[in-house]
A and B are shown apart, each in its own frame.
Chain A
Amino acid sequence: MIEPRHRQRAAASRGSPNGWLLGAPPAVFLLVFFLAPALLMVGASFQEPGEFGGLAPLLQDGRLNLSLESYRFFFGDRIYAEIFLRSFIVAAATTLICLMLAYPLALAIAQSAKRRRDLLVLLVILPFASNFLIRIYAWIVLLGPAGLLYTPGAVIAGMVYVHLPFMVLPLYANLEKHDPALLEAAQDLGAGRWTRFRRITLPLSLPGVWAGSALVFIPVLGMFAVPELLGGTRDMLIGNLIKEQFLDNRDWPLGASLSILLTVGVLLLAGLSAWSARPRRSVP
C-alpha cells in the first residue's frame, strides 16, 4: 500500500534537524515556565512550612525534610472536601449558565449578515477593555441595593458575567464554520427547524461546546476575586483557600498540595469527559 503523501512527509520531517529547530523554542518555553514551576509545586507540597512563610530548608541536620503532613491535613478535615465540592458545583453551574446564554448568542452572531459579525464579536469582547476588578465592583453597586450581595447567587452571577465571552467565542468560531448547505440539505430531506438544530447544528458544535466549557470551568475553579468581593463568609472557594495559604496563613506546603489536588481533579474530569465524548459508530 502506498502511504498518503502527508504521512510520508511527516515521517521525513520527524528525523530532520529542521523539525527540532522549529520545535525547540516552544519546548524550552514550556519547560521553563510550565513544567519546572509545576514540579516545584509538587515538591513544595511535600515540604514543611518555613517559620516565617516560604518553605523550611529541604536538608536539615543531614536528612531530607519531606512529609505528607499537608495532604494528611487536607484529608483530615471535612471542611476542605466541602470547599472542593462547593467549588466544583459553582464551576459547573457557571459553565451551564454560560452555555445556555452563550449558545443562542453565538448562533445569532454566526447566522447574521457577514459584515455585521465582526461588530457583534467586538461587542462581546468589549467588556475586556475595562478592568476586571472595576467590573466586579460595578456588580456590588448593582446587587447591593437589591439585597442580593454576599450570597452564592451573587458569586455565580459574577462568575457568569466575567466568563461569558470565553464561552461565546469558541462557540461562535465553531458555528460560523458550519456549511449552510448542510441545514438546507436536512430541510430538503424533511427535517423541521428543531430537528435540524438537534440533528445537525448541535452535534457539529460539540467541539465548540467542550472548548468553551473548559475555558469557563477551569478558570472559575481557581477564581478567588469574585467570591471574595461578591460572596459571603460561607462562599469560600478553592481559589480563596489556596490564596489564603500562601498570603495569609503562610502555609506554602498546604497551598501547594491544594493546587496539586485541584489540578488532579481537573485532569480527571477532562479525561472523563473526553472518554464519554469519544467517537462511537452505530447503525441507524
Chain B
Amino acid sequence: MPLLEIRKVSRRFGDLKALDDVSLSIEAGEFFTLVGPSGCGKTTLLRMIAGFDEPDDGELLLDGRLLAGISPEKRPVHTVFQSYALFPHLSVAQNVAFPLEMAGVGRDERRRRLAEALALVALTDKAERYPNELSGGQKQRVALARSLIDQPRVLLLDEPLAALDAKLREQIQGELIALQRKIGITFVFVTHSQQEALALSQRIAVMNQGRIEQIGAPAEIYNYPKNRFVADFIGTINLLPVEVREAAADHLRLFASGLGDLVGPPAATARPGQHGVLALRPEQVGIVAGVPAQELGNHFQGRVRDYLYLGDVTVYKVALDNGVIVEALVANSLPGPTRFLERGDPVGIAWRRDAGVYLHD
C-alpha cells in the first residue's frame, strides 16, 4: 500500500483548472518532487496534502485513510514554507520545539528531542538566537528541524531553496538528500527548477496546466520524455522536425526536409507517414571533423551561428542547411585554452542512430 495516494483529484478556482484529474501515489521513504512552471498546480496539490485546501473532486489517502475533512493541525504532515515562516518572537529552540509543545510532550522528553533535532541540522550553538539573527541557510535549517522534530509521516517542502543564492542552494541540496536518507521520512518537494528536481528526487512528477505530464525517475524523465512539454521543460533539447519513413522493431527511418534521411531509435507509436520531432539532448550531438566514425550514423553539415563558453563545456548553436538550429555541447576536456570554432565556421555535426527520442505531433 502506498503511503500517500492521490486519486483523480480536481480543483477549480473560478474558470481556472488548478488541478485536472490528478492521480499519483507516493511510497513511504521516497523523495518525490512535483515540478512544473508557475501556475501548473503543484502548490495547490501540496496545500491539499497539508490540509489548507480541499479537492472539488477525487480523494487523498494517507496510510489508506481518507484525508477529507481532517484539518491541517490534525494531519501527521508538516510543511517547510518558502518563506520558512519562522516565528519571529520565539528563539530557535522555541521554534523547533513548537510541535512538541502543541502535542503536549513533557518537559524532559521535549528537551531531549530538541537537542536531537538541533544536532541533526547542526544548529545546537544557535538555540538561543532569534530568527532575525540567522542567515538564510540557517533559517532554512531551523524550518527543517521544526518540521521534522515530531516525525511527520510526510514532509512537504514548498520551494524551500528559492530564496537562497546559487552556491548555498547547491550545498543545501546535498544536505537535504543526506538528511532524507538518514531519517527516512517521505519528502514531497515542490519546485519550478528542473535542475533541482533532477538533482534531489527519486521520482519526479512533471506538471503542466493542472495535469501530470509524466512521472518517473530523473534519468527516465530526462532520457525518455513522453511528450514535447516534458522534453522542453526538463533540461535543454533540440527538436528536429521529421517524417517517419519506416518503423522497424529496432529503429526508425526518418526524413528531415532539407537535410535528408536519418535513423532514430525505435518508437512504439510511430507509423510511416507520421510527422513529429526527433528530440536530441545537446550532449548527444557531437561536433565532428571530416567523416565521422561508423556508429555516429547521422551526419550533417552546418555553420556555427553562435557559441556559449560555460567553462566546463561550450555550447555551439549550429545552423543546419535546412535552417534548423541544433545545439551541440562540447566538453572542454583538453588542457590549455580551448580553441573555439568561430561564428560562421562550417562544421559537421553527428549523433548516434540510437540517440534521442521520437515524439509524434
B157 to chain A, nearest CB (A): 12
Q: Is A184 interfacial (CB 8 A cutoff)?
A: yes
Can you offer 24 A-B residue contacts whose CB atoms are under 8 A?
A: A182-B87, A182-B88, A184-B85, A185-B79, A185-B87, A186-B98, A187-B73, A188-B51, A188-B72, A188-B78, A188-B79, A189-B73, A189-B99, A189-B102, A189-B146, A190-B73, A190-B74, A190-B99, A195-B102, A199-B87, A281-B91, A283-B91, A283-B127, A284-B94
With an 8 A cutoff between CB atoms, is B27 at the interface? no
Given contacts A179-B83, A182-B87, A204-B88, 17 further A-B contacts (CB under 8 A): A181-B83, A184-B52, A184-B79, A188-B52, A188-B73, A188-B77, A189-B73, A190-B102, A191-B102, A195-B102, A199-B87, A203-B89, A281-B91, A281-B128, A283-B94, A284-B101, A284-B114
Residues of B contacting A187 in the complex (Cβ-Cβ under 8 angstroms): 71-73
Given the complex, which residues of B lie within 8 Å of A185, measured CB to CB? 79, 81, 85-87
0/1 interface trace, chain B 19-62, chain A, CB 8 Å (1 if under): 00000000000000000000000000000001110000000000
Does A42 belong to the interface (CB within 8 Å)?
Answer: no
Minimum-distance CB pairs A-B, first 3: A190-B102, A185-B85, A181-B85
A2 to chain B, nearest CB (A): 15
Residue interface bits A138-167, CB-to-B below 8 A is 1, else 0: 000000000000000000000000000000
Instruction: Quote the shortest CB–CB distance from A191 to chain B (angstroms).
Output: 5
Residues of A within 8 A of B74 (CB): 190
List B contacts of A203 (CB < 8 A): 89
In the complex the two chains form, what is the Cα distance from A185 to B103 in whole Å?
15
The proximity string for A residues 241-284 relative to B, scoring 1 for CB distances below 8 Å and 0 otherwise, is 00000000000000000000000000000000000000001111
Residue among B52, B87, B101, B127 with the most chain A CB within 10 A? B87
Could you say which residues of chain A place their CB within 8 Å of the CB of B79? 184-185, 188
The reply to whether A200 and B73 form a contact with Cβ atoms under 8 Å apart is no
Q: How distant is the Cα of A186 from the Cα of B94 in the complex, in angstroms? A: 12
Q: Does B201 contact A (CB under 8 A)?
A: no
Q: Mark A167-199, 1 if CB is under 8 A from B, else 0.
A: 000000000000101101111111110010001
Query: CA separation between A121 and B52, bound complex, in Å?
Result: 29
Chain A nearest CB: distance from B218 CB in Å? 28
Distance (Å) between the CB of A243 and the closest chain B CB?
A: 43
Contact of B87 among A186, A190, A195, A283 (CB under 8 A): A186
B91-114 at interface with A (beta carbon < 8 Å):
91, 93-94, 97-99, 101-103, 110, 114
Closest to B158 in A: A181
- Measured in the bound complex, the distance between the Cα atoms of B88 and A225 in whole Å is 43
A203–B71 CA distance with the chains assembled, in angstroms: 24
Report chain B residues within 8 Å CB of A282.
91
B10 proximal to A (CB < 8 A): no
Contacts of B128 in A (CB 8 A): 281, 283
Judge whether B147 is part of the interface by a CB distance below 8 angstroms.
yes
When the two chains form their complex, are residues A191 and B85 in contact, meaning their CB atoms are under 8 A apart?
no
Taking a contact as CB atoms under 8 Å apart, the answer to whether B97 and A284 are in contact is yes
> What is the bound-complex CA distance between A282 and B90, given in angstroms?
9
Structural contact, A181 and B81, CB atoms closer than 8 A: yes
Chain B residues lying within 8 Å of A195, measured Cβ to Cβ, are 102
Chain B residues whose CB sits within 8 angstroms of the CB of A179 once the complex forms? 83, 85
CB neighbours (8 Å) of A281 from chain B are: 91, 128
**Max chain A CB contacts within 10 Å: which of B71, B81, B85, B146?**
B85
Give every chain B residue within 8 A of A192 (Cβ-Cβ).
73
* Contact present for B99 and A182 (CB under 8 Å): no
Decide yes or no: A184 and B81 within 8 Å by CB, A189-B147, A190-B99 being known contacts: yes
Contact with A along B63-87 (1 / 0, CB 8 A): 0000000011110011101010111
Q: Assess whether A284 is in contact with B81, with CB atoms less than 8 Å apart.
A: no
For residue B83, which residues in chain A have a CB less than 8 angstroms away from its CB?
179, 181
Q: How far is the CB of A6 from chain B (nearest CB, A)?
A: 14
Chain B residue nearest to A281 in the complex (CB): B128
Which residues between 109 and 140 of chain B lie within 8 Å of chain A, taking CB atoms? 110, 114, 127-128
Specify which chain B residues have a CB less than 8 angstroms from the CB of A181 in the assembled complex: 81, 83, 85
Residues of chain A within 8 A (CB-CB) of B147 are 189
Q: Is the CB of B93 within 8 A of A283?
A: yes
In the complex, the answer to whether A200 meets B99 with C-beta atoms within 8 Å is: no
Q: How far is the CA of A179 from the CA of B88 in the complex (A)?
A: 10
Smallest CB-CB separation from A181: which chain B residue?
B85
Q: How many whole Å from B208's CB to the nearest CB in chain A? A: 26
CB within 8 A of B50: which of A188, A190, A200? A188
Residue of B nearest to A191 (CB): B102
User: CB-CB < 8 A to B51: which residues of A?
Assistant: 188
A179 to B83, CA, bound (A): 10
Chain B residues in 8 Å Cβ range of A182 = 85, 87-88
Give the docked Cα–Cα distance between A204 and B86 (Å). 13
Q: How far is the CB of B205 from the nearest CB of chain A, in Å?
A: 22
Q: Which residues of B contact A200 (CB under 8 A)?
A: 87
Q: Which A residues lie within 8 Å of B94 (CB)? A: 283-284
Q: Which residue of the partner chain B has the closest CB to A195?
A: B102
Give every chain A residue within 8 A of B52 (Cβ-Cβ): 184, 188
Chain A nearest CB, measured from B277 CB (Å): 42
Contacts of A284 in B (CB 8 A): 93-94, 97, 101, 110, 114
Contact residues in A for B114 (Cβ distance below 8 Å): 284
A184 to B87, CA, bound (A): 11
Complex Cα distance A263/B147, Å? Answer: 50
Report the minimum CB–CB distance from A237 to chain B (whole Å): 37
> Which residue of B has the minimal Cβ distance to A190?
B102
Residues of chain B in range 181-195 having any CB-CB distance to chain A below 8 Å: none
B127 / chain A contacts, CB cutoff of 8 Å: 283
Contact A190 B103 (CB under 8 A): yes
Contact partner of B73 among A191, A199, A283, CB < 8 A?
Answer: A191
B residues less than 8 Å from A283 (CB atoms) = 91, 93-94, 127-128
Measured CB to CB, the closest approach of chain B to A177, in angstroms, equals 11
